[in-house]
């Protein structure tokens, strides 16, 4: 038997074992377990702000930890920093490459980052008298789909080259490369304790990684297409994913499997983005069909819709204080709802 055949056989045997172990732990599902829980109230949120300023599709947005400022990225070649309370633009950062796919705000509020088809993550300092490029993180061999700051000195990136990476902002070099996906990495989310992160990829898998030792610890199966969005649950023991297969799923890290799928026969558009309300009770999921659907995370039921965009909702975000949800769209507008 060739080596390849042997590897395949071994892989199949291990997968069967894992499936059996998961099945043995599967003594119920979330919908049944939460059958006694009162349903979340019907959620009717109003548009409080429509932020106009971008001239092309918006691809990403990220809240600052101050619950007020946010950064958005558009293929008009700009990052815009907004004061969400007044609706005013605070800063505009022109990008070298207009093919941007992600943006991020550092927890300190001092730095923002962007990246996309240039395969690089560029970091900017907002606090210098004139906004300066601090570093260009250049080593990925595929597009940059997502970036997140751990601090002013470390950044995590996800790339179309199938890897994620941890970068040192002082040297501009990769400290750790996370390699295990076999499809483009599309999204990542940091755990609340910052010791691990999860990634979603076009191989339809979500993976849990240890930031410090670089190892993949767990793999979550179930989706049947690209995972475009992923988020850790506030408690840190579960994750939510959103996929081109039109569903969102909650996976528990300790049970190592799916607890519930959020889907509706009438929904046949892919999920582009998602964000959780502060307690985790509500999931705001952006879809290709121009809407953002609101799901009750415990009951698996749709409890509301945010309609108002004239094109795909490409990004969603809830600030740390949970006071609103922001949606960004290919229609070039951002909306703030509560």
Partner 1 sequence: MPVINVEDLTDLDKAKMEVTQLKIEVKLERAKVSKCCEEISEYIQSGADEDPLVKGIPEDKNPFKEKGGCVIC
Q: In the window 183-212, what residues touch partner 1 (CB under 8 A)? A: none
Calpha distance 190→98 (Å, rounded): 26
DSSP single-letter state for residue 150: S
Nearer Cβ to partner 1 (241/270): 241
Give the binding-site size for partner 1 (rule: CB under 8 A): 81
Question: In whole angstroms, how close is the CB of 331 to partner 1 at the nearest point?
Answer: 15
Question: In whole angstroms, how close is the CB of 13 to partner 1 at the nearest point?
Answer: 9
Strand order of the β-sheet with 325-329 is: 47-51, 334-337, 325-329, 313-317
| Selected range binding partner 1 among 56-64, 96-104, 122-130, 321-329, rule: CB under 8 A | 321-329
Nearer Cβ to partner 1 (95/297): 297
CB 151 within 8 A of CB 192: no
Q: In the window 106-125, what residues touch partner 1 (CB under 8 A)? A: none
Number of helices followed by number of strands (H, E) in the chain: 2, 28
84 binds partner 1 (CB under 8 A): yes
Find tokens 């849990």 and name the residue. Answer: 208
Question: In whole angstroms, how close is the CB of 12 to partner 1 at the nearest point?
Answer: 10
Alpha carbon 170 to chain centroid, angstroms: 25
CB 116 within 8 A of CB 144: yes
Nearer Cβ to partner 1 (132/175): 175
SS (H, E, C) 277-327: CCCCCEEEEEECCCCEEEEECCCCEEEEEECCCCCCEEEEECCCCCCCEEE
Question: In whole angstroms, how close is the CB of 225 to partner 1 at the nearest point?
Answer: 20
Alpha carbon 134 to chain centroid, angstroms: 24
Question: In whole angstroms, how close is the CB of 266 to partner 1 at the nearest point?
Answer: 24
Length of the chain equals 338
| Selected range binding partner 1 among 69-77, 124-132, 190-198, 215-223, rule: CB under 8 A | 215-223
Nearer Cβ to partner 1 (97/277): 277
Structure tokens at 290: 């121009």
Q: In the window 260-319, what residues touch partner 1 (CB under 8 A)? A: 277-282, 297-298, 318
Q: In the window 6-45, what residues touch partner 1 (CB under 8 A)? A: 7-8, 10-11, 14-15, 17-18, 21-22, 24-30, 33-34, 37, 40-41, 43, 45
Question: In whole angstroms, how close is the CB of 96 to partner 1 at the nearest point?
Answer: 24
Calpha distance 181→76 (Å, rounded): 31
Nearer Cβ to partner 1 (1/24): 24
Site string for partner 1, 148-187 (x = CB under 8 A): -------------xxx----------xxxx-xx-x-----
Q: Mark residue 278 as left, alpha or beta (left: phi above 0; alpha: psi -120 to 50; beta: remaining).
A: alpha
Question: Nearest CA to 222 among 255, 269, 194?
Answer: 255
């Amino acid at each position: 038997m060739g080596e390849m055949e042997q590897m395949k056989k071994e892989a199949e045997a291990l997968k069967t074992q894992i499936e059996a172990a998961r099945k043995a732990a599967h003594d119920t599902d979330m919908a049944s377990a939460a059958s006694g829980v009162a349903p979340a109230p019907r959620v009717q949120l109003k548009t409080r702000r429509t932020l106009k300023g971008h001239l092309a599709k918006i691809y990403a947005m990220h809240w600052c930890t101050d619950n007020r400022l946010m950064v958005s990225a558009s293929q008009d070649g700009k990052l815009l920093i907004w004061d969400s309370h007044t609706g005013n633009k605070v800063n505009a950062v022109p990008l070298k490459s207009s093919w941007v796919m992600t943006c991020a705000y550092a927890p300190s509020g001092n730095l923002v980052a962007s990246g996309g088809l240039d395969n690089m993550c560029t970091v900017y300092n907002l606090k210098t008298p004139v906004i300066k490029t601090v570093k260009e993180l250049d080593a990925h061999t595929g597009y940059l789909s997502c970036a997140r700051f751990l601090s002013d000195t470390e950044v995590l990136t996800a790339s179309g080259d199938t890897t994620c990476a941890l970068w040192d902002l002082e040297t501009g070099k990769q400290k750790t490369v996370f390699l295990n996906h076999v499809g483009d990495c599309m999204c990542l989310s940091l755990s609340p304790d910052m010791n691990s992160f999860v990634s979603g990829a076009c191989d339809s898998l979500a993976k849990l990684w240890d930031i410090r030792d670089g190892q993949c610890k767990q793999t979550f199966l179930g989706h049947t297409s690209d995972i475009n969005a992923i988020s850790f649950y506030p408690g840190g023991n579960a994750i939510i994913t959103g996929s081109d297969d039109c569903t969102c799923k909650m996976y528990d890290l300790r049970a190592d499997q799916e607890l519930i799928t959020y889907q509706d026969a009438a929904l046949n558009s892919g999920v582009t983005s998602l964000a959780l309300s502060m307690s985790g009770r509500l999931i705001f999921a952006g879809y290709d069909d121009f809407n953002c659907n609101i799901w009750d995370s415990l009951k698996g039921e749709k409890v509301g819709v945010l309609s108002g965009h004239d094109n795909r909702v490409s990004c969603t975000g809830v600030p740390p204080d949970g006071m609103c949800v922001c949606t960004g769209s290919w229609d070039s507008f951002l909306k703030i709802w509560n």
